Amino acid sequence: MKGAGPPREGVATIFRIWGIPVRVHVSWLVIFGLIAWSLSVGYFPERLPDLPLLAHWASGLLAALLLFVSVLLHELSHSVVARRCGIPVSGITLHVFGGVSQLEREPERPGVEIAVAVVGPLTSFAIAAVVALAYALLGPPEAPAAIMRYLVLVNVLVGAFNLVPGFPLDGGRLLRALLWKVKGDLAWASRMASLAGSVFAFLLIGAGVFRALSGEFLGGLWFVLIGLFLRQAAEGSYQQLLLQRVLGRLSVRDAMTSEVIHVPTDLSVAHLVEEFFWAHHVSSFPVLDGGRVVGIISLRQLKEVPRERWAETPVRDLMLPLAGPLMATPGDSLWEAFEKLSRNGLGRLAVVEDGRLVGYLSMKDVIHLIAVST
């Protein structure tokens, strides 16, 4: 899946592949444990009845780990193709419902959308084929054979599930790309794919309720949870597209605050708190040095220094140095600025022109402009 995912909180980066951060959401630990447990007490005891309990648990843990390696490869294929098509990728996140490749922008042409979407399911099918071939050629012992059969099955299921033509699944993105190519209207194509995704989500929820009432409570509950997640993701992805179309027509200049309170680099943290944070009730300020903006200081940075050292610590020692994620120019697309606001952890951007501070942009400014423009 691409573009939709869990909340950003509770996420840790565990490693990088080809420069792409791979993150794990805390919910992944829950599903990993549940899958390992269910395989260890149900799946492998049925298929390996002559092996001891320890072998069942070892097989369950290894199979669960290899499942998520397969999911990671599925998402990595999306990310690699997206980057080759010129789309920046901010990372891959594994979570309770699988994984998500976080593309920084949507494909600009139907052909690119098709290429990025289809490679995920193809990767899952390829993994299944490679494991099946290895199984046939090697004739492995009993326990490895059971693990390999499981991996073939789940990768086929992952590939097939992702081809369901409902947004934001890969199949939904393929549907959107085809409709977009035929009619030439991305918004309409997105709406149709989103509706298809919602229909599939409701069918999944209905199937889950039926399973739960039939006595399969855990399986039914899982169907319901996945359905609710897909329903929210389908609607959220469409709303994000609408927001992108609105903000893409506006510039930072349209939303920024021009009269900006700023602080000098040599101001002590004690004076910063007393004369600025307490007086103005805002969470951050641009920092200037000789008339040029050099960084941003926020309440979050104050936690890095004990209160007894505030009087002797200058702002320059704590400020976040000005860089791309913290700045924009007046002519930048408001959508691009909105994405920076969403990702930089501050919700603020210094608006700079020729090194001079000409404005300050907050998420509140963007929301206010949307409210008065719609």
Catalytic sites, residue numbers = 75
Residues 6+ apart with CB under 8 A from 43: 60, 63, 150
Rounded to whole angstroms, what are the CA distances from 132 to 5, 42, 135, 156? 31, 23, 5, 11
How far is residue 47's CA from residue 51's CA, in Å, rounded to a whole number? 9
**Continuous H helices in the chain:** 26-38, 44-47, 53-84, 110-138, 142-162, 170-183, 186-213, 217-248, 252-255, 269-272, 278-280, 299-302, 334-343, 363-373
Q: State the first-to-last Cα distance of the chain, in angstroms, to the nearest integer.
A: 31
CB 365 within 8 A of CB 296: no
Q: How far is CA 75 from the centre of its chain?
A: 11
Task: Work out the number of other CB atoms within 10 angstroms of the CB of residue 282.
Answer: 14
**Continuous H helices in 214-268:** 217-248, 252-255
CB 349 within 8 A of CB 230: no
Q: Which long-range contacts (CB under 8 A, 24 or more apart) does 305-311 make?
A: 305/269, 309/269, 310/268, 310/269, 310/270, 310/273, 311/268, 311/269, 311/270
Q: How far is CA 47 from the centre of its chain?
A: 37
Q: How far is CA 303 from the centre of its chain?
A: 28
Coil/strand/helix, residue 15: strand
Coil/strand/helix, residue 352: strand
Please report the DSSP string for 147-187 in residue order: HHHHHHHHHHHHHHHHTSSSTTSHHHHHHHHHHHHHH--HH
Residue 104: HSE in the Cβ half-sphere, 13 Å Cα cutoff: 17
